[in-house]
A and B are shown apart, each in its own frame.
Chain A
Amino acid sequence: MVSLNAVLLISFLLFSIGIAGVLIRRNALIILMCVELMLNAANLNFIAFARHNGSVAGQAFALLVMGFAAAEVAVGLALVVALYRRRDTVQVDDINLLKG
């Protein structure tokens, strides 16, 4: 039996790694992967609470979140490819068209 606090700690650390990646990396692809990591940390929380509470809702919604993550990756990668085609870069520092 896994204690809830251990799961929450791991999930929190995973989420922090995701946020750190989004803040410090410049490659748009890696930023997308960090967003995925954050979604997975949230999923881990869902499942931990489902396990703790005995409710099936957490697992059902974790499955739904997984589907949303797949949709998000498809759109995000399409955006990256379109961006690369137009600007020839995926570094977020070089994408400053809207900067005044």
Chain B
Amino acid sequence: MEHFIETIGRNMFAIFGVMALVGGLLMIASKSAIHSVLGFLFAMLNIAGCFLALEAEFLGVAQILVYAGGIVVLFLFVVMLVEVSKKKEGEVFQLQSRYAVAAVAVGAAMFLAVFRKAFFGVASPEALVLRPELAKGLDVAHQNAQAVSRGLFADYLLPFEILSVILLVALVGAVVLAKTERV
């Protein structure tokens, strides 16, 4: 029994990854848009699990907060606003563009050839590494959020500030786009 649990713990990433793929497939295959949103939610939660398995604890929690807490709820609101009392999609899929499907198949074959060559290679042992002056007084291996914040605010402050401006622009733009014509 302990051996079984240990094996599961070692293969956590693969389990979460496969479940995320299942969620994605549910999302693009289900007829009702609500079911698609639920598949999306399932995929996002499992991707958060993948982040945790990759020892990015802060990002895993942020993924759950941002996606499950914000974006999925927004999608559900709009789906319920738009899809209610609408007739079903007559034809769910559009496969008339055969060239697009063929191109995707060729790309997938190429990627799979790459992966077949070097499947499951060796992995590097070291965890996150900060510059010595940033890592002062910090247990980097166990304090992921602190380590990410020190890296973010030391080296990537400008992208962070640009992101805040972009969020403001998106906020104003969303209000302008969605408001009624005569106000």
Q: Which residues of A contact B (CB under 8 A)?
A: 1-10, 12-14, 16-21, 23-27, 29-30, 32-34, 36-37, 40, 43-44, 47-48, 50-57, 59-64, 66-75, 77-82, 84-85, 90-91, 93
- In this complex, how many residues of chain B approach chain A with their Cβ under 8 Å: the count is 87
A29 to chain B, nearest CB (A): 6
- Chain B residues with Cβ under 8 A from A78's Cβ? 173-175, 177-178
Contact A14–B20 (Cβ < 8 Å)? yes
Which residues between 102 and 160 of chain B lie within 8 Å of chain A, taking CB atoms? 104, 107-108, 111, 115, 118-130, 144, 147-148, 150-152, 155-156, 159-160
Contact A54–B75 (Cβ < 8 Å)? no
Chain A, residue nearest B91 (CB): A26
Q: Which 3 A-B pairs have the closest CB atoms?
A: A56-B151, A71-B170, A10-B17
Q: List 10 A-B contacts (CB under 8 A).
A: A1-B123, A2-B53, A14-B20, A20-B28, A23-B104, A36-B67, A59-B151, A70-B66, A74-B173, A84-B82
Contact of A90 among B62, B82, B122, B166 (CB under 8 A): B82
Contact of A53 among B66, B81, B93, B124 (CB under 8 A): B124
Contact A10–B50 (Cβ < 8 Å)? yes
- Chain B residues with Cβ under 8 A from A57's Cβ? 151, 155-156
A68 to B164, CA, bound (A): 9
Chain B, residue nearest A55 (CB): B129
Contact of B160 among A7, A18, A64 (CB under 8 A): A64
